[in-house]
Chains A and B, each alone.
Chain A
Amino acid sequence: MNNMMAIYRKEVGAYFKSPMAYIFLVFFALFNGYFFSNTFFLFSQSDMRALFNITPMIYLIFVPAVTMGVLAREKSAGTHELMATLPIKNFELVIGKYLSAFTLVLAGLGFTLIHFFTLLAVGTNIDYGGVICGYLGLALVGAFYAAIGTFTSSLTDNQVVAFILAAVFVLGFYLLDKLLIFVPAAFAGPIQFMAVDYHLSNMSRGVVDSRNLVYFGSLIWLFLALTVRGIDMRKWR
Chain B
Amino acid sequence: MIRVENLEKYYGDIHALKGIDFEIDDGEIVGFLGANGAGKSTTLKIMTGFLAPSAGNVFIDDLNIQDHSLDIREQIGYLPEMNPLYGEMRVYDYLEFISQIRGIDAGEFKTALDRVVEQCGLHDVIHLPISACSKGYKQRVGLSAAILHDPRVLIFDEPVSGLDPNQIVEIRNLIRELGQQKMVIISSHILQEIEATVDRIVIIDHGEIVANGTSQELMAGFMGRTQLTLDVKYADEDSLAALTNSVDEIEVANIEMVDGRSILSIEYAREVDPREAIFDYAKNSGWAILEMTQNQVLLEDVFRGLTGEGGGDE
Contacts and interface: CB of A to CB of B under 8 A. Distances in A.
A84 B65 CA distance: 13
Nearest to A235: B52
Contacts of B102: 86-87
A237 B46 CA distance: 12
B77 to A, nearest CB: 9
Nearest to A233: B52
Contact of A235 (B49, B78, B89, B97): B49
A13 interface: yes
Contacts of A82: 78, 80, 84-85
A6 B101 contact: yes
A31 to B, nearest CB: 27
- A-B pairs, 3 with minimum CB distance: A78-B84, A6-B100, A79-B84
Interface in A32-66: none
A18 B45 CA distance: 32
Interface stretch (B68-76, B109-117, B275-283): B68-76
A84 B97 contact: no
A6 to B, nearest CB: 4
Contacts of A84: 49-50
Contacts of A6: 97, 100-101
A79 B101 contact: no
Contacts of B98: 86
B51 interface: yes
Contact of A85 (B11, B49, B82, B89): B49
B78 A10 contact: no
Contacts of B78: 82, 85
A84 B101 CA distance: 12
A14 B102 CA distance: 20
A84 to B, nearest CB: 5
A78 B82 contact: yes
Given A14-B89, A18-B88, A87 B101 contact: yes
Interface residues of B, number: 26
B106 to A, nearest CB: 12
B105 to A, nearest CB: 10
A18 B89 CA distance: 11
Interface in A51-100: 77-82, 84-89
A218 interface: no
A236 interface: yes
A2 interface: yes
Nearest to A86: B101
Given A6-B97, A77-B84, A79-B84, A87 B74 contact: yes
Interface in B164-184: none
Nearest to A84: B50
A17 interface: yes
30 contacts: A2-B100, A3-B100, A7-B101, A13-B89, A13-B93, A14-B86, A14-B88, A14-B89, A18-B88, A77-B84, A77-B86, A78-B80, A79-B85, A79-B86, A81-B45, A81-B82, A82-B84, A84-B50, A85-B48, A85-B49, A85-B50, A85-B73, A85-B76, A86-B73, A87-B70, A87-B73, A89-B70, A235-B50, A235-B52, A237-B11
Interface of A: 2-3, 6-7, 10, 13-14, 17-18, 77-82, 84-89, 235-237
A18 B49 CA distance: 32
B103 interface: yes
Contacts of A237: 11, 51
Interface in B86-137: 86, 88-89, 93, 97-98, 100-103
B142 to A, nearest CB: 9
Contacts of A87: 70, 73-74, 101-103
Contacts of B45: 81
Contacts of B80: 78, 81-82, 85
Contacts of A3: 100-101
A235 to B, nearest CB: 5
Given A86-B102, A87-B102, A88-B101, A236 B52 contact: yes
A14 B101 CA distance: 17
Nearest to A232: B52
A10 B86 contact: yes
Contacts of B101: 3, 6-7, 86-88
B50 A81 contact: yes
Contacts of B73: 85-87
A7 B85 CA distance: 14
Contacts of A235: 49-52
B92 to A, nearest CB: 13
Contacts of B11: 237
A172 to B, nearest CB: 32
Contacts of B48: 85
